[in-house]
Chain A
Amino acid sequence: MESVELIYKAVYILVIFGITLLIATYSTYAERKVAAFIQDRVGPNRAGPFGLMQPLADAGKMFFKEEFIPAKSNRMLFIIGPGIAMIVACMSSAVIPFGDMLIIGGREIYLQAIEVNIGMLYIFGVVSLGVYGLMIGGWASNNKFSLLGAIRAASQNISYELAMGMSIIAILMMTGSLSLREIAEQQAGFNWNIWYQPLGFIIFLTCSFAETNRTPFDLPECETELIGGYHTEYSSMKLGLYLFAEYINIFVASAVMATLYFGAYNFPFMENLREAFSDPVVGNNVVTLIGVAVMFAKIFFFIFFFMWVRWTLPRFRYDQLMKLGWQILIPLAILNILLTGGGILLFD
């Protein structure tokens, strides 16, 4: 690879990393605001205009809190746990195409950190590693509640990954590719996958709620039963990292949903807009930049949706969760695969 390319990649990865962290930081703020608004309250509004400095204050608080490690815990694993959760959460945004291609000085620049032809598998692999952070942390705490939370997290993630994987298979059958860039390119204009895969999308959406441990499936940390679940014994920034990793996971899940089902950076009439410019380079760049904005708008909508659902639905009981995963979502996913297969046979 040439050095220019390398520098560009390094800068781009840093930018994506920064955006990921920024969005995760402000997701905490957004969560509190959305919660407040849905409950007819105002939410944090004292730190800075509209309370915008609140996440900084919270992070500062986290850093200055007492760092407590239980005496009988496995010290090393206790420290590694939140680290794994955080690193794994940050890794998964690498393959997401946040935009199409920019042309600068005759060079084609793709707005994607790494293009791998198994991008979807990469995300799946990395996201399922995330549960190790929870498992290790919960086990190392040497606390019954933590252990219960960790076990719940593990069994929940395994159960829902199955249905999630199968809902992706239907997408694969349509697109014939695991590369996220190709999946995005195939949905040009308004040709989004959601029009062909509504059932698959609902399955995927439900599973991503379970994968990110969000209400109604937030049993690993459900405070009414398990105090704090896997992070009961955690304090200070270690707790902060767990909470942060959850928000990064939400961001990634939203990005994946937008990419797989809602056309990634594509928007209606983009081709007409591209042709409206006499210079194809300018046209391409304008469309790409609007595309990036569209992509982030979709991501933000899904992040909002995660929060919206959190303050709407009550938590599932554990047996209900398992029943939904194994007896409803997996058969539905298989049905969806069959339907997709039949559709391809009939129309192609």
Chain B
Amino acid sequence: MESLSNRSKKLEKKEMTWAEKAYLPAIAQGLGITLKHFFRKKATIQYPEQTRERSSVWRGLHVLKRDENGAERCTACGLCAVACPAEAITMTAGERVKGEEHLYREEKYAVTYEVNMLRCIFCGLCEEACPKAAIFLQDDKLAPARYERDEFIYGKDRLVEPLKTTETK
């Protein structure tokens, strides 16, 4: 059959030469290759001590941001939950009462906010959907392995950005 691209290489089975049949030169060649690898730089990244360098657009663990005064930005509008293709986000909304203005930026806030890290596909659509710039995927943190399934459901305790300790500047 005529070849379409004319790029295929014609292979013919040649009779092996004496040196090839003796097998020993081939073994020596193979030993040379493995010895070269013996002294080569290792590809291993020693994980807990070293981590692979990540891109700046890497999508890792979620964070719920606070505004410049330390109040939570999230208003529990639920757009992130709607946008989420894996249905990993749930929340319940609550009304801010007097005296909580320093905690929540607007009158409505998320009483609970849970992301199931086993469902999450880290696509970042929640980040895009958020009108308040409240949720982001961090580029330096991963959701680590755990022993229990329910430990993968991250609540507000683990999602909300920790308060910046009293401004030193």
Contact = CB atoms under 8 A, between A and B. Distances in A.
Main secondary structure of the interface of B (DSSP, over half): helix
Interface in B31-58: 31, 33-35, 37-44, 46
B43 A313 contact: no
Interface in A256-312: 308-309, 311-312
A57 interface: no
A313 B42 contact: no
Main secondary structure of the interface of A (DSSP, over half): loop
Interface string B9-22: 00000000000000
Interface stretch (A11-19, A34-42, A124-132, A335-343): A34-42
B42 A42 contact: yes
B85 interface: no
Interface of A: 34, 37-42, 45, 202, 308-309, 311-313
A308 B27 CA distance: 11
Nearest to A310: B34
Interface residues on B, range: 10 to 19
Given A308-B31, A308-B34, A308-B38, 6 more contacts: A37-B37, A38-B34, A40-B37, A40-B43, A41-B42, A312-B27
B94 interface: no
Given A39-B37, A40-B37, A202-B24, A312 B31 contact: yes
B100 to A, nearest CB: 49
Contacts, number: 37
Contact of A40 (B30, B33, B42): B42
Contacts of A45: 46
A7 B75 CA distance: 88
Given A312-B27, A313-B27, A41 B44 contact: yes
Interface of B: 24, 27, 30-31, 33-35, 37-44, 46
Contacts of A313: 27, 30
Given A308-B34, A308-B35, A312-B34, A40 B27 contact: no
A202 B24 CA distance: 10
16 contacts: A37-B42, A38-B34, A38-B37, A38-B38, A39-B37, A40-B41, A40-B42, A41-B42, A41-B44, A42-B44, A45-B46, A308-B31, A309-B31, A312-B30, A313-B27, A313-B30
A34 B43 CA distance: 15
Nearest to A216: B27
Nearest to A304: B38
A197 to B, nearest CB: 16
Contacts of A34: 38
Given A202-B24, A312-B27, A313-B27, A40 B40 contact: yes
A45 B49 CA distance: 13
The 6 closest A-B pairs by CB, nearest first: A42-B44, A312-B34, A312-B30, A38-B34, A37-B38, A40-B43
Contact of A311 (B34, B41, B43): B34
Contacts of A42: 42, 44, 46
